[in-house]
């Protein structure tokens, strides 16, 4: 229990001192991938709550079309897609970070965004229209903070400079597109195969 509390407390150090913090995570095993996964799951849950309970002034979601499970999946899927894509590029770009390190960077980097998003969710129900721009700016700060922490963390765990890390991120984007394309193609082929088998079985039963 004390270790979990210490790991949670260490996130505060990471978000304010990302280069030093992620160095400790990568090379001195101060990270906790379980807590990082928890942060990603909380972020997914928060996406569901935000879609449903954000104040009507800032909420453009059609609630009658709302699906909690779909929203949650789309809330967490990009993080795992990014982690797989980034890890798959390490062999090409000589990155030294492990898959668990990438997950840890993503999860820990989400912490300030989660806090800010919770604050925005609560305040969105009490603000007036003229204050929406202020709240949107606060939300943007959380997103930028998250992006900076991820960029810093990837530089540290892969031992990259800024320029090489940018190239790596572009390659990660390409890898993610390829993975999604191949996944959709595979699912489509499986559906067609299942349809063919079902149709063949149906015809076979009718004839015999």
Question: Helix (H) and strand (E) counts for the chain?
Answer: 8, 0
pLDDT, one tens digit per residue, over 21-47 is 999 988 888 888 999 999 999 999 999
Strand, coil or helix: 28: coil
pLDDT in tens, 125-180: 888 888 888 888 999 999 999 999 999 999 999 999 999 999 999 999 999 999 99
Nearest-angstrom CA–CA distance, 38 and 18: 19
Task: Choose among 40, 43, 26, 35: nearest CA to 6.
Answer: 35
Residue 4 has pLDDT above 80, yes or no: no
Long-range contact pairs involving 1-5 (C-beta distance under 8 Å, separation at least 24): 4/32, 4/35
In angstroms, the CA 122 to CA 47 distance is: 13
């Amino acid at each position: 229990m004390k270790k979990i509390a210490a790991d949670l407390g260490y996130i505060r150090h990471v978000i304010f001192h990302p280069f030093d913090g992620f160095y400790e995570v990568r090379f001195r095993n101060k990270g906790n991938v379980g807590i990082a996964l928890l942060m990603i799951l909380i972020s997914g849950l928060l996406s569901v709550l935000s879609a449903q309970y954000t104040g009507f002034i800032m909420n453009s979601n059609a609630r009658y079309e709302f699906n909690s499970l779909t929203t949650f999946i789309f809330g967490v899927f990009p993080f795992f897609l990014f982690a797989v894509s980034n890890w798959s590029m390490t062999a090409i770009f000589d990155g030294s970070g492990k898959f668990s390190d990438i997950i840890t960077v993503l999860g820990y980097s989400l912490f300030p965004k989660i806090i800010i998003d919770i604050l925005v969710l609560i305040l969105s129900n009490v603000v007036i229209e003229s204050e929406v721009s202020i709240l949107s700016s606060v939300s943007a700060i959380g997103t930028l903070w998250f992006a900076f922490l991820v960029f810093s963390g990837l530089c540290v765990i892969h031992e990259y400079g800024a320029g090489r890390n940018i190239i790596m991120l572009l390659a990660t984007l390409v890898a993610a597109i390829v993975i999604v394309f191949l996944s959709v193609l595979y699912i489509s082929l499986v559906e067609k195969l299942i349809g063919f088998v079902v149709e063949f079985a149906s015809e076979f039963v009718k004839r015999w």
